[in-house]
Amino acid sequence: MPGDIVVAALGGTIASARPSAGGVAPSLTAQDLIDAVPGLPSNVEALSFRSLPGSSVTVPDLMALHRLLSERFAAGAAGAVVTQGTDTIEESAYALDLVHRGPQPIVVTGAMRNPMLAGPDGPANLLGAVTVAGSLSDVGCVVVFADEIHPAARVRKTHSTGIATFVSVDGGPLGYLVEGAPVVVNPRASRHTLPRPSALPNVGIYPASLGDDGSALAAMATVLDGVVIAGFGVGHVPSGWTPLIDSLCARMPVVLATRTGSGPVLHRTYGYPGSESDLQRRGAVPAGFLHPYKARLLLQFALAAGASSAQIRAAFGVAGQVSSTERWPFL
């Protein structure tokens, strides 16, 4: 019988131990993680799904996990917790959010301090995540970390070692855990989902950087089906890139995001070659508030769903939260 809350372990620091000489590595099972939490409700099912560092988790891993969780939900599970390496939580949570349609929450968590260290944060994060998975509904996928509840579309890992590393840029957290109970202060307005992709197109991210002549982008694009450009500021690239942008836009979707880490790509403020308005006139699709890592996943999933250029543009208008006229183009 499935438990009410499924705890699926994928590895990461939260599940790491020191098996021999050398550094820690993922090795603990889902049951080990559950056993380390005082006060965890008894209605949890342990599911050891992978034992990987966050850096080696793939989208196919996540889609296989989502298939399995969907079966558990159909059998009556009320929610799920996914424990994994924090290195890729901001992407894996968004990938799960893009395909999860049900009312049951999927809550991703992990730890910054491994269980060998003083004050490991994994047990408290797991307790918080199970609490949220058993309490909220219709929130899609959220990240619970350090007593904060973050929406998958906004959450970012912002510090390489700090335990308060997860931050919801451009809008703040969905809510908080207060005295052990979730309090939602910023409810989710809408959810946008696509079919689970079976084959994944190759989509890359390329950041603009000072004085770059674009030759590395041109070389990289030869193996891509789509590209996200993380532009300077509100969406700018060096003016010398404009012929390359023209040729890329003729061959594949080109999404324009910002490399700054927060704030939107603009549309009509600057008017020189390589500016945001110039690039969009050439065919680049603005990502709005969507971070380049998340924009890459959305473009990958949209291409996998066979989306037209107009559908890709509409999807970014909605997901990027800058278009009031576009509608989500997928069923």
Which of these, 263, 254, 205, lies nearest to 230 by C-alpha position? Answer: 205
Find the binder of ligand ASP among 9, 93, 112, 303 (CB under 6 A). 112
Give the C-alpha separation, 104 to 134, whole Å.
9
Q: Which is nearer to ligand ASP, 12 or 235 (CB)?
A: 12
| CB 58, min distance to ligand ASP, A | 13
Site for ligand ASP in 75-104 (CB under 6 A): 85-87
Q: Under the criterion CB under 6 A, does residue 115 sit at the interface with ligand ASP?
A: no
| CB 51, min distance to ligand ASP, A | 10
Render the burial of 104-138: b for 16+ CB within 10 Å, e for the rest: bbbbbbbbbbbbeeeebbbbbbbbbbbbbbbbbee
Q: Under the criterion CB under 6 A, does residue 53 sit at the interface with ligand ASP?
A: yes
Find the binder of ligand ASP among 13, 104, 168, 277 (CB under 6 A). 13
Find the binder of ligand ASP among 79, 105, 110, 123 (CB under 6 A). 110
Give 113's contacts (C-beta < 8 A, 6+ positions apart).
Answer: 13, 119, 120, 121, 122, 163
Q: Which is nearer to ligand ASP, 12 or 151 (CB)?
A: 12
Give the C-alpha separation, 302 to 103, whole Å.
22
Cα–chain center distance at 125: 18
Find the binder of ligand ASP among 8, 12, 277, 286 (CB under 6 A). 12
Using the contact rule CB under 6 A, the part of the chain among 53-61, 143-151, 204-212, 317-325 near ligand ASP is: 53-61
Q: Which is nearer to ligand ASP, 54 or 235 (CB)?
A: 54
How many other C-beta atoms are found inside a 10 Å radius of the C-beta of residue 69?
A: 23
Q: Which is nearer to ligand ASP, 86 or 280 (CB)?
A: 86
Known active-site residue 258 = no
Find the binder of ligand ASP among 54, 79, 105, 238 (CB under 6 A). 54
Which of these, 281, 287, 222, 218, lies nearest to 259 by C-alpha position? Answer: 287
Q: Under the criterion CB under 6 A, does residue 121 sit at the interface with ligand ASP?
A: no
How many other C-beta atoms are found inside a 10 Å radius of the C-beta of residue 212?
A: 15
Q: Which is nearer to ligand ASP, 10 or 149 (CB)?
A: 10
CA distances 252 to 7, 81, 90, 127, 206, Å, are 39, 36, 26, 44, 14
| CB 77, min distance to ligand ASP, A | 25
Give the C-alpha separation, 318 to 324, whole Å.
8
CB 265 within 8 A of CB 234: yes
Q: Which of 13, 86, 109, 258 is catalytic?
A: 13
Could you tell me how many residues of this chain bind ligand ASP (CB under 6 A)? 10
Binding site for ligand ASP (CB under 6 A): 12-13, 53-55, 85-87, 110, 112
